[in-house]
Amino acid sequence: MKIVVLAGGTSTERDVSLSSGSKIYRALKNRGHQVILLDVYLGYESETPVTEQLFELDVDWAKDIQAVSAEHPDLSHLKDLRRDGGKSMFGPNVLALCNMADIVFLGLHGANGEDGRIQAAFDLMGIPYTGTGYLSSALAMDKHITKQFFRNAGIPTPAGITLKCGEKADPSSVPYPCMVKTACGGSSVGTYRVDDPRDLQKALDDAYTFGDDVIVEQYISGREFSVGVIDGKALPIIEIAPLEGFYDYKNKYQPGSTIETCPADLSPELTAEMQRYAEMAYEALGMRSYARMDFMMDASDHSIYCLEANTLPGMTPTSLLPQEAAVIGMSFEDLCEKLIEVSLK
């Protein structure tokens, strides 16, 4: 197959996306596909018209991709790399090459990639792509909307309030500790634990730098889990235990920062309950193909809370979905092929 792997982009998860994209690219190349890895924003500069012969070139499209750093990337100079000024999300020749492909494998994360905008554009252009559609992508990207859908479907989720466009909160009205997070972020960028009322406004101000809407949410003290869902069926549960702090950007992508156990050490009853909630969340948001749901379990009474849904889960060397798939005998290459299969279906 001719496949374009799209990665990069303009979100705070750019580096994570490039890491996912390079790993997907190499896996599909190893399976004999004709694959091109493109940064959706920077594209492919060419003085001559692009043709399908680009898919046949013996070049390493991922040779310049670096490991994910401990800090989220500085995007301030990204536009300077575009000759055309970078007004369009799609870089030079991206759409032309995607039109030539049998399918586009979306290795994008975060805004302008995981939020349904690119999916909607591809739907209008008739370009097949991996992952769920534009509407479920948009719903899952907004944690405030996601929580409303979870509650309506009977899926437990932490209590919280949403503040808009710089709105302040009365520190005395919030239980502590609490979590402050941007409503439309990912990879725990813009997420803060607040233990003292005096620190609440600082956390809100920092979260507002990543988006207009911010959620102040009940903190669940206990164990953290994630459950992948492929074609409506839950994978084995993985438990996430950071060595320090919570599962933030650094702990997600720096090897050795987190202990991950799959399958998680849970009773059959709790395993079945959490997997059922993951499948319910997938259904409630109208998802297709695949996704990943994140959970907390209260240490005192083992109550389960669904935190959010991820429509394009990470595919980096430390990512969770590939680890879950490996437990059922699915290699990374097998997983990439499976995600193409269910997406084309």
Cis peptide before 268 (omega within 30 of 0): no
Q: Which pTM was predicted?
A: 0.89
What is the topology classification, in CATH, of domain 2-129? Rossmann fold (3.40.50)
- Distance from C-alpha of 199 to C-alpha of 172, rounded to nearest angstrom: 12
Residues catalogued as catalytic:
13, 187, 253, 292, 294, 308, 310, 314
Residue 248 has pLDDT above 60, yes or no: no
Residue 209 has pLDDT above 90, yes or no: no
From 230-234, 253-257, 307-311, 315-319, the region with the lowest mean pLDDT: 253-257
234, 208 Cβ separation under 8 angstroms: no
- Tally: H helices and E strands in the chain: 10, 13
Single-letter residue type at 335: L
Confidence of residue 70 (pLDDT cuts 50, 70, 90): low
Nearest partner of 167 among 217, 211, 219, judged by Cα: 211
Encoding tokens for residue 191?
């997420």
Domain ranges of the chain: 2-129, 140-155+222-344, 160-218
Single-letter residue type at 47: E
Q: What is 140-155+222-344's CATH number? A: 3.30.470.20
For the chain, report the end-to-end CA distance as a whole number of angstroms: 15
Please write the tens of the pLDDT for every residue from 187-204.
567 788 999 888 899 999
Averaged confidence pLDDT in the chain: 90
Confidence of residue 168 (pLDDT cuts 50, 70, 90): confident
309, 293 Cβ separation under 8 angstroms: yes
Please write the tens of the pLDDT for every residue from 268-315.
999 999 999 999 999 999 999 999 999 999 999 999 999 999 999 999
From 24-33, 237-246, 301-310, the region with the lowest mean pLDDT: 237-246
Alpha helices in 142-229 (DSSP H): 143-152, 200-208
Q: Quick one: the chain helix, strand, coil %, rounded to 5?
A: 35, 20, 45
Please write the tens of the pLDDT for every residue from 119-152.
999 999 999 999 999 999 999 999 999 999 999 9
Q: What is 160-218's CATH number? A: 3.30.1490.20
Q: Which helix (H) or strand (E) holds 239?
A: strand 238-242
pLDDT value of residue 79:
81
294, 274 Cβ separation under 8 angstroms: no
**Burial of 270 by CB count in 10 Å (0-12 exposed, 13-18 middle, 19+ buried)?**
middle
